[in-house]
Structure 1
Amino acid sequence: MASSTSTPALAHSGAMLCGIRPTTLLAAVVSIDTFCACAPRALQATSASARWRHARRGERGESVIGCLLSVGSPPDRADGDPSVGPRVPSVKLIRSVDDKGFSMDPRHLVQLATILERGSITRASQVLHLTQPTLTHNMRTLEMQAGGRLFERSRLGVRSTPLGELLAREGRDIQRRIADARAASARHRLGMRNHVRIGSGPIIGAALLDGLAERLLQQQPDLGLTLQCDRTHLLVEQLVDGLHDLAIAPTWLDRPPQGIARERLVADRLGVFCGPGHPLAQRGRLTAADDDGLRWLTLGEASPFDKGVFSMLNEVGLSAARAEISARGDAMVLLRLLMQGRHLAVLPRAPVLLMRGFFPVVELQTDAAPRSRDIYLWTREAQHDDPVLAAVRRTVLDLAAERVAELQGIGYRGEDER
């Protein structure tokens, strides 16, 4: 066979794509060459069935190096005459990487995600129970398929490239799907046929989810629940990705993403809070004169919501406000620290006031204009016909209305305060 590409280089590239050794690939090429040379004489001397067996041998060779070689297939029989056997396969070289000739192995994407997560091929091989040469080979194959480097090596480990991070994200998504499938299987074995996943922000979850779970299980004893608290700006993205069935969270969007519906549960706004033992608790007011020496807590959002918090503090005149502790996504830790009386925190008012029996924090008045932080129920429109989710949605709306009435009983006016 003639080609402008050297045989060893081409064999090596094709072997990488096929996941076999170059010597195995070359043996397959030789076998097809031999078949093509001998086929005309063989076809003249054998019956129709024997001729078809010769063609099948060629097809087996083609399957081995299909991403490297293009082998002609049996022709249509002339006028339906079965005595006319298939034409001799013609062999031609194609380029070593063909986007239509293969598909990425999902296992390789998962392995890439593990390598980048662990920081080295050695540690990843231990987690994946693969040898280092096998893992290295798989990554080289994936690089050839992707058309670029996936990570850079150094004595400190591996560092992802933009392309590698893009593919690793897909690998992590596959891992999540596998974990979801295992969890669904486990629930099925335990007899939990109906399962609902609810996501919530940390403060809102601490105030609402325990009561919501209790009520849902009273109404639907065979219901299984997964409750997850996460940073509020991630919840809607997770809902779109199918990680939740419902989400309870505020919004920074003018309108919800396509296919997502939202309903306002509580008209809320931000407030500044401190513990009852804080020096400002007795005065009950925060001014620009208090700027120096204030210590702040935050949930570590690093999200679009930060803009409202910063603008509120700047309007008060607290330009030097800086978070000393970030209790990232953990409302209980933040509230316990707040109760110690050494810090301040900007938090949504309604959830904090609902927990006043457990955490009697003090709200400080300011001269800043109110910053809204309404709380919404987010759902996927495609699931609105699901009777189980419809019942859960009604329960969430009813519980939220009860909690608003409870707040109004202690003077909370919500939207009227703006």
Structure 2
Amino acid sequence: MNLELRHLRVVCAIAETGSVTKAASTLGLAQPALTAQLQRIERTLGGPLFERDRRGARPTALGELVLARARVLLPAMKGLQDEAARLAGAADAPRRYRFGGVNSPILGRLVHRLSAEQPQAQITTYASWSVDELAQLVVGGRLDFVLTGVCGDSSPSAAFGLSWREVAVDPVLVLLPETHPLAGQEEVRLVDLRHEQWVAAPGDGCFGDCFAAACARAGFTPRKVYEADIRACMDLVDAGAAVALCQATFRPVAGLVTRRLSGVPLRWRLMFGWHPDSPAARVAELVLETAKAAYTDSLAAHPDYLAWLTRNPAFGVRRPTATGAVGGTGGVRTA
């Protein structure tokens, strides 16, 4: 039998868990099958790799040698695979767009624009509530771009080495049933919602902390926050069981209304990310401009919000000014 990387992963799993049984569970294998595999590995290497008793499995001197080599080889091979995946897509970069999204309000319009501009392009999408998962897929060459959002002036994690650019910034709105006592107001004070139950979609960003901080500034602690998918969030609001925060371009169904929060206590920045060393980086700026255009497309269904943007230039698509500062365009794309 020739030694393969999968055999090294088995040895590492046993060493890390301290047990063949636990390693089998981690690897998704039956314990007898993993034991037989370990025996074949040991025969190939010429001796036992672990001392096994009731206390678990401990590496022998030979096992320590194999582990030392495996802990160098496995990360190196993973790095090689990631680099190869990025380079393999170099020729396809202008013709292939693989997007990952976290509850993005513009992903559909972005795909529509790219499809119209490049009918031969292959466009795929992947949804996840985890920005870290999407970033890892970009690093591994399995996605090209990520669309996500962050609250306030924060930025996505820099741990994965992605380049991040802002698409637009919006105030966060509140979603209410149209029968709610505050539904008739153009703007709602956050403090006037202090007795409400809340519902939110899942996610691994900082929005929960930003929301709690905004409530604290308003002088109260939010009541119970339910966690549900988007459909269930709307159902809970429609039933009068909760209210929800939502993005400014959210289009509520019949029976629900969105209202701005007075003073804009919460802001949401739409972000676009890619890996600077990937083939996709060559077209990233062009795709970013298309994402900004897709955001502008989304405003057509919200004339009241579009009018608000013209009066509040710090929001919408913001572009660098001649001095290097960031200025708003009221959500209107400029040439």
Q: What interval of TM-score do these two structures reach, taking the shorter chain for normalisation? A: 0.5 to 0.7
Q: Does 1:312 align with 2:214?
A: yes
Match of 2:198 among 284, 296, 315: 296
- Whether the 8 Å CA contact 2:148–2:271 is kept in 1: the answer is yes
SS of match in other structure, 2:216:
helix
- TM-aligned CA deviation for residue 139 of structure 1: 10
- TM-aligned CA deviation for residue 197 of structure 1: 1.5
- TM-aligned CA deviation for residue 218 of structure 1: 2.6
Match of 2:237 among 338, 341, 344: 338
Query: Aligned in 2, Cα 1:259/1:124: closer, same or farther, shift over 3 Å?
Result: closer
Aligned to 1:378: 273
Query: Aligned in 2, Cα 1:384/1:363: closer, same or farther, shift over 3 Å?
Result: same
Match of 2:171 among 269, 278, 281: 269
- TM-aligned CA deviation for residue 309 of structure 1: 0.9
Query: Aligned in 2, Cα 1:378/1:341: closer, same or farther, shift over 3 Å?
Result: same
- TM-aligned CA deviation for residue 240 of structure 1: 4.3
SS of match in other structure, 1:297:
strand
Match of 1:212 among 87, 90, 110: 110
- TM-aligned CA deviation for residue 125 of structure 1: 7.5
Aligned to 1:56: none
Query: Aligned in 2, Cα 1:362/1:317: closer, same or farther, shift over 3 Å?
Result: farther
- Whether the 8 Å CA contact 2:109–2:297 is kept in 1: the answer is no
Question: Which one-letter code corresponds to 2:215 in the other structure?
Answer: L
- Structure 1, 256-265 or 242-251: larger mean CA deviation: 256-265
Match of 2:96 among 174, 183, 195: 195
Aligned to 2:66: none
Question: Which one-letter code corresponds to 1:377 in the other structure?
Answer: F
Aligned to 2:322: none
SS of match in other structure, 1:412:
helix
Query: Aligned in 2, Cα 1:138/1:232: closer, same or farther, shift over 3 Å?
Result: same
Question: Which one-letter code corresponds to 1:228 in the other structure?
Answer: Y
- Give unpaired runs (5+ residues) of structure 1: 1-17, 21-101, 154-166, 186-190
Identity %: 14
Aligned to 1:247: 146
Query: Aligned in 2, Cα 1:342/1:198: closer, same or farther, shift over 3 Å?
Result: same
Query: Aligned in 2, Cα 1:307/1:197: closer, same or farther, shift over 3 Å?
Result: same
- Whether the 8 Å CA contact 1:277–1:340 is kept in 2: the answer is no
Question: Aligned partners of 2:157, 2:33: CA distance in 1, in Å?
Answer: 50
- Whether the 8 Å CA contact 1:296–1:343 is kept in 2: the answer is yes
Question: Aligned partners of 1:130, 1:351: CA distance in 2, in Å?
Answer: 55
What's the C-alpha RMSD, in Å, of the aligned pairs? 5.1
Question: Aligned partners of 1:383, 1:124: CA distance in 2, in Å?
Answer: 32
- TM-aligned CA deviation for residue 108 of structure 1: 2.4
Aligned to 2:68: none
Question: Aligned partners of 1:212, 1:339: CA distance in 2, in Å?
Answer: 30
Question: Aligned partners of 1:387, 1:201: CA distance in 2, in Å?
Answer: 23
Match of 1:402 among 297, 302, 309: 297
Query: Aligned in 2, Cα 1:136/1:253: closer, same or farther, shift over 3 Å?
Result: same
Query: Aligned in 2, Cα 1:369/1:401: closer, same or farther, shift over 3 Å?
Result: closer
Question: Aligned partners of 1:336, 1:129: CA distance in 2, in Å?
Answer: 45
Which structure carries more relative contact order (alpha carbon 8 Å, separation 6+)? Answer: 2
Structure number with bigger Rg? 1
Question: Which one-letter code corresponds to 2:96 in the other structure?
Answer: H
Question: Aligned partners of 1:211, 1:200: CA distance in 2, in Å?
Answer: 13
SS of match in other structure, 2:205:
coil
- TM-aligned CA deviation for residue 399 of structure 1: 1.8
Question: Which one-letter code corresponds to 1:300 in the other structure?
Answer: P
Question: Aligned partners of 1:345, 1:139: CA distance in 2, in Å?
Answer: 56
Query: Aligned in 2, Cα 1:416/1:152: closer, same or farther, shift over 3 Å?
Result: farther
Question: Aligned partners of 2:287, 2:146: CA distance in 1, in Å?
Answer: 12
Aligned to 1:83: none
Query: Aligned in 2, Cα 1:340/1:108: closer, same or farther, shift over 3 Å?
Result: same
Give me the TM-score of the superposition, normalised by structure 2: 0.60
Give me the TM-score of the superposition, normalised by structure 1: 0.50
Alignment of 1:280-295 (within 5 A): 280-282=182-184, 285-286=188-189, 288=191, 290-292=193-195, 294-295=196-197
Query: Aligned in 2, Cα 1:319/1:127: closer, same or farther, shift over 3 Å?
Result: same
SS of match in other structure, 1:382:
coil
Question: Which one-letter code corresponds to 1:326 in the other structure?
Answer: E
Query: Aligned in 2, Cα 1:415/1:313: closer, same or farther, shift over 3 Å?
Result: farther
Question: Which one-letter code corresponds to 2:116 in the other structure?
Answer: Q
Query: Aligned in 2, Cα 1:104/1:405: closer, same or farther, shift over 3 Å?
Result: same
Question: Which one-letter code corresponds to 1:291 in the other structure?
Answer: R
Question: Which one-letter code corresponds to 2:238 in the other structure?
Answer: M
Question: Aligned partners of 1:373, 1:109: CA distance in 2, in Å?
Answer: 46
Match of 1:412 among 299, 308, 316: 308
Considering fraction of residues, name the structure with more strand. 2
- Whether the 8 Å CA contact 2:102–2:130 is kept in 1: the answer is yes
Considering fraction of residues, name the structure with more helix. 1
SS of match in other structure, 1:376:
strand
Aligned to 2:126: 228
- TM-aligned CA deviation for residue 268 of structure 1: 1.2
